[in-house]
Every structure is written in C-alpha cells, then in structure tokens.
Amino acid sequence: MPKKTRAPKPARAAKPRVDYTAPERLKHIFAALDQLFPQAQCALRHVNAFQLLVATILSAQCTDERVNKVTPELFRKFPTAPHFAALHQEVLEREIRSTGFFRNKAKAIIGASKKVVQDFGGQVPKSMEEMLTLPGVARKTANVVLGTAYGMPMGVVVDTHVFRIARRLKLSQQNTPEKVEQDLMKLVPQDRWITFGHQMIWFGRKICAARKPLCADCPLESVCDSPDKTL
Ligand code: SF4
C-alpha cells in the first residue's frame, strides 16, 4: 500500500509589524498632545530656579497639589538658597513633613542649597553636568529646572507619568527612566523636549492614568495597542 502523505499546512499569514517610531505615528502623537494641552506648563508654584529646585525635590512621591500647599509658607519664611543652607535639618523636616519622605527630602534640600551657595554663588547652575553635582538631584529634577526655569532643553523629563505613557505607546521598551529618556531624546525633536515633558505629564494626569486610563476619550487610541487599554 502506498504511504499516506499529509498535506502541508497552509502557511500562516505573517502579522504586519508595527513601526512604533514611524514619523507619521510620532506626528500623530505630537499633534494630539498639542491639541489637548497647547499651553502645558509646570504645575509647581515657583518664582525662580531655586524655588523650582526645592519644589521639584519635594514633589518626589507626592502630588504637585500637596507641594503647592506647603511651598508658599516655606518660601515666605526661607526665600533664598542661603536661608535653606543655614537651616537645621529638624526645622526643615517639620515644615515639609506632609510631603512624605521628609527626612531624605530635608537632607537633599539643605545639601543642594549649601552646594548652590558655596560652589555656584547662590545661583542654581545652568548645565546638566553641574546640576547633577547637587545632592538629591538626578536627571529628572535637573531637566525640570533647566527646562522650565531656564528654557534650556537638555533632556526630556521622565517622571512616573512620562515613563508609563512612553512604554504604553511603545516609544520605549526600556525599564529605567534614564534609558526611556535616551529613547525619547532620539524620537522627539529637541525643540519639543520641554513642552513634550509637560504635555505627557498632563496627559498622564487627565487621560492616560495609571489605573483606569480613559481610552474611550483618548485621541491616541487608534495608534495605541497597550495591554493596559480599557477598551
Ligand atoms: S488608548 Fe488608553 S492606554 Fe493608550 S494612550 Fe490612550 S489612554 Fe493611554
């Protein structure tokens, strides 16, 4: 008897590969953010670079609303870097207790203030390299201050919102804010870095929330295939 031969299985159609960094897709994302948040700004109240530095350190693991409740009185009592540099740690801890992690924050603020006074003549420095020498200051804080207070696009702010959304939109698959920032710096034009950071933070607050993102109302829904989607 002739041996039965199995018919070959039909080849499966290959899934079309999505180019998540295609210029058209990026354009769509930028246009949607521009439309949603044309005037996006930093929500932390401040009148100069030093106050923004303090407010940004306080905003770690804390809402901007909470920080904005604490800083008006804080800056009224201690308006400049020399005032903070001369503070006893316990005094500052009492003032900022409600922002959480107050011991570490007080230590960082006093340390950064001393360095600003001793090494930079009381002015917050204007380069990334110098900013990173301040105690408690990493790239996120440095980018906030350089971008918002000085208008210098030295990088992209990657806070918890930007980190989450960049990964949901597959603009980066990296696992650390520093590496996500490097990816974003390649994809986003430099003249957009400051605005893009603000817009992504507002987008994260208002639409693409960590829990229950509002995908039904999201103008990026058609280009998003995140497993977190609620549609
Ligand atoms: S569709 Fe949903 S998960 Fe995707 S970007 Fe919009 S809100 Fe975020």
pLDDT tens, the chain, 231 aa long: 555 666 666 666 666 688 999 999 999 999 999 999 999 999 999 999 999 999 999 999 999 999 999 999 999 999 999 999 999 999 999 999 999 999 999 999 999 999 999 999 999 999 999 999 999 999 999 999 999 999 999 999 999 999 999 999 999 999 999 999 999 999 999 999 999 999 999 999 999 999 999 999 999 999 999 999 998
DSSP-derived letter for residue 187 is H
Q: Can you say how many angstroms the Cα of residue 64 is from the centroid of all Cα atoms in its chain?
A: 13
Length of the chain: 231
Contact (CB, 8 A) for 142 and 116: no
Contact (CB, 8 A) for 208 and 168: yes
Q: Which of 205, 223, 226, 231 has the most ligand 1 atoms within 8 A of CB, as the residue to mutate?
A: 226
Tell which atom from ligand 1 comes closest to the C-alpha of 228.
Answer: 3
Distance 106 CA to ligand 1 centre (A): 36
Is 170 catalytic? The answer is no
Beta-carbon contacts of 156 under 8 Å, excluding residues fewer than 6 positions away, are 143, 162, 181, 184, 185, 188, 193, 196, 197
Beta-carbon contacts of 166 under 8 Å, excluding residues fewer than 6 positions away, are 158, 172, 180, 183, 184, 200
In a 3-state reduction of DSSP, which class is residue 162?
Answer: helix
